Amino acid sequence: MFFSFRNGILSVAAAVFLFWIISSLVNWFFLDAVWFGTIEDCRLHQDGACWPFVGVRFSQFLYGFYPSAERWRVNLVLGIFFGAIGLLVYERMPYRSKIVIFMLCVFPLFAWFLLRGGVLWLADVPTGRWGGFMLTLVLASVSIVASLPLGILLALGRRANTLPFVKAFCVVFIEFWRGVPLITVLFATAFMLPLFMPASVNFDQLLRAMVGFILFSSAYMAEVVRGGLEGLDRGQYEASDALGMSYWQSRKRVILPQALKIMIPGILLTIIGLFKDTTLVLIIGLLDFLGMIQAGIADPRWGSPNVPFTGYAFAALVYFCFCYSMSVYARYIEKKYSEGRDRR
Amino acid sequence: MPPSPVHKTSYLRSLWASRKGRGIIYQVLMFSFVTLLLLLLVSNAFYNMEQRGLKAGFGFLDRSAGFGIVQSLVDYDETSSYGRAFVVGLLNTILIASIGIVLATFLGFMIGIMRLSSNWLVSKIATVYIETFRNIPLLLQILFWYVAILKPLPSPLDLFAKGESFSFSFNNRGLVFATPVPQSGFSLVLWALAVGVLLSVGWYLYVSWRRRISGVHLPTMLPCFAFTLILPAMVFVAVGSPLEFSLPVMARFTYDGGTTIVIEFFALLWALVIYTSAFIAEIVRAGIQGIPYGQSEAAYSLGLKRSQTLKLVTIPQALRIIIPPLTSQYLNLTKNSSLAAAIAYPDLVSVFAGTALNQTGRAIEIMFMTLSVYLTLSLITSFVMNIYQSRIRLVDR
């Protein structure tokens, strides 16, 4: 590291910079921070984080305005969700593909009815009371679960050279949603969906946002799938044709199982993008995780200069943990499969 | 036995039996489904608009908008039309996107090259930068810079006494500076600038021609710099400094006069630049790593320094890999600038699809215009990219 004079200076400068950054962060977040107490303590010690702000509002950040007596439902759904992800990360898990199918097909319906209520003995919880981190996860999962099959169909359609109308439709659909910013899509569904629907159908704000997310994310998913389909060797298509398989047989048994494997890193990156993009619902007035934190910061009773810093740092930490772990996993999968390919 | 139904089913069956026939059936089904859906949506829209007493059409664009916009590059006030507000929003979007693209490119290339530094500490710092800012939502970063950093800055009221005039200030309203007012003779300076730019282009062409035929490197940056900056400056002094400044003056609550770049602009710009530069850095890294190491080794053995090797050998080749994803990042930055709506920077979405839509209720027309702007932009970009890529492919052997 100190081989040359110039490199030595660079190292020293970098080390000083690092020391300065790390020491000021540690001071601000830990040593000078207010850990217990009320807003009064935060106002007295302004040169550190105000953790009571996060502590007091933690349940709101997590559940939004979900009635406290019913929060066990959210906990149950979150428990199954993270439990299944934990099981899936373990590679020698038996019935791994069955768990994936359960999570993609059965669980979303189960979770929706459990969270929404109004069936059986479960009390009705209107979506207007959903919020916080739970809403972030709901938005992200709904758009992922819906956009995967839609994206696969769109990508297959885009590659169907013998079906000009289908192909044109898919190209226009994909390029349209990819060409416009998500926030305009959300505005469009928020303001225009009621105009295009029959008067009897009433979409609440959350459903409108979900429609926007699904349209938007399926276009992005389609491009990832198309990349996977194009990355597959031509011989696979020709071989399955030569075996006399029909279009859907060959897609189901030969093409997609191999292509999906190549796509997993791309799909994960799209999921990271989607997860970050769910924050945009704050602009159309839904209170997701960031929205809840923003509402807490704007609350005049918690007015203190260190509160915004603390709130945003906490939010950034949570988003970072989720996105970074997904991107690490994506890189791991990519490496694993590329090693598998190189071995041949 | 009636023959006709048998004949019909067998015809359909034979159509179904061939792949081509099935394709036709699929397409007809899909065409009718899409057409039906569109018809349903349009008829619903007409019915609903009639119920609400709305009339379709772009006539509202000529009506007076009646709201103010804090920053506009063209003349605009409350009596201006909605069409004018559209132009103001569009220009503000273009302003932030173009400045953001330039800054993000510089920062991104710097971080990307740092990431590949042989110095372990430097490359780790770049890695942490990339991973941190890529994995935190852009909206959160915008709000952070706006609410936590820039809004708590002192207000003009804290900084200046009543009646005090100042030439430059960065406060929680934004960047405030004296407005330059050109006096007679200033057009000469502009002419000098035009001549300087022409001279620079000519010099650049001459230098590359000389290099092609003789291999001799002539200085490029310095003469171009002299032509474009020093020539106009000399003319400026010779004519007798034909520029006056109108200073902002502090009134009772806020200042009057001067030129303001609003604080929302800086919050949005800073967040966009940092966020996008992290992505650009990764693209740059991948592009440089895509060039075989033998290229750099050859350059080193020819006696080129590390900076020369990067500038003359590695980056020109890496650009071929870098440019396509780089343009899509530029497009992303432009689209992401619509997050301005969260902090009310007056861009296209927040002025037109926000305020104007809320006032007029013309959801369809306004969303149509807004979406068309972004769509046109992406289509043009991908069109240009396709041309570029096909040209590169010809060069490739």
Residue B361 within any structural domain of the chain: no
Q: Any chain B CB within 8 A of the CB of A294?
A: yes
Residue B45 has pLDDT above 80, yes or no: yes
Averaged pLDDT for residues B80-90: 89
pLDDT of residue B375: 92
* Beta-carbon separation of A166 and B27 below 8 A: yes
pLDDT of residue B334: 92
Q: Collect the ranges in chain A with pLDDT lower than 50.
A: 1-2, 344
Averaged pLDDT for residues B94-101: 93
Residue B207 has pLDDT above 50, yes or no: yes
Is residue B61 very low, low, confident or very high in pLDDT (cuts 50, 70, 90)?
A: confident
pLDDT of residue B393: 64
Residue B147 within any structural domain of the chain: yes
pLDDT of residue B338: 93
Is residue B397 very low, low, confident or very high in pLDDT (cuts 50, 70, 90)?
A: very low
Residue B144 within any structural domain of the chain: yes
Read off the tokens for B288. 């440089």
In whole angstroms, give the CA distance from residue B88 to residue B152: 28
Residue B151 within any structural domain of the chain: yes
| Tally of domains in chain B | 1
Those residues whose C-beta lies under 8 Å from the C-beta of residue B11, and which sit 6 or more positions away, are: none
Cα–Cα distances (Å) from B390 to B81, B88, B288, in that order, read 44, 36, 21
> Which residues in chain A are closer than 8 Å to B333, comparing Cβ atoms?
none
Query: What is the ipTM score, two decimals?
Result: 0.90
Residue B368 within any structural domain of the chain: no
Mutation for B interface: A11, A17, A183, most B CBs within 10 A = A183
Quote the minimal CA–CA distance from B121 to chain A in Å: 6
Residue B11 within any structural domain of the chain: no
| Contacts with A, B 106-135, CB within 8 Å | 117-122, 125, 131-132, 134-135
Cα–Cα distances (Å) from B357 to A15, A336, B41, B148, B349, in that order, read 52, 50, 21, 30, 10
CATH code of the domain in which B334 resides: 1.10.3720.10
pLDDT tens profile A124-179: 888 888 889 999 999 999 899 899 999 999 999 998 888 888 899 999 999 999 99
Residue B3 has pLDDT above 60, yes or no: no
Query: Model's pTM, two decimal places?
Result: 0.88
- Supply the DSSP string of A239-270, one letter for each residue: HHHHTT--HHHHIIIIIHHHHHHHHHHHHHHH
* Beta-carbon separation of A179 and B34 below 8 A: no
Q: Which domain holds residue B342?
A: 116-156+269-347
Highest mean pLDDT pick, A96-105, A113-122, B41-50, B343-352? B343-352
Residue B135 within any structural domain of the chain: yes
* Residue A122: DSSP 8-state: P
SS3 B242: coil
In whole angstroms, give the CA distance from residue A278 to residue B137: 9
Residue B262 within any structural domain of the chain: no
Q: Which residue has 């509402």 as its token pair? A: A295
- Supply the DSSP string of A4-61, one letter for each residue: SHHHHHHHHHHHHHHHHHHHHHHIIIIIT-B-SS-HHHHHH-TTS-BHHHHHHHHHHH
Residue B53 has pLDDT above 80, yes or no: no
A195, B364 Cβ separation under 8 angstroms: yes
The per-residue pLDDT of chain B, averaged, comes to: 86
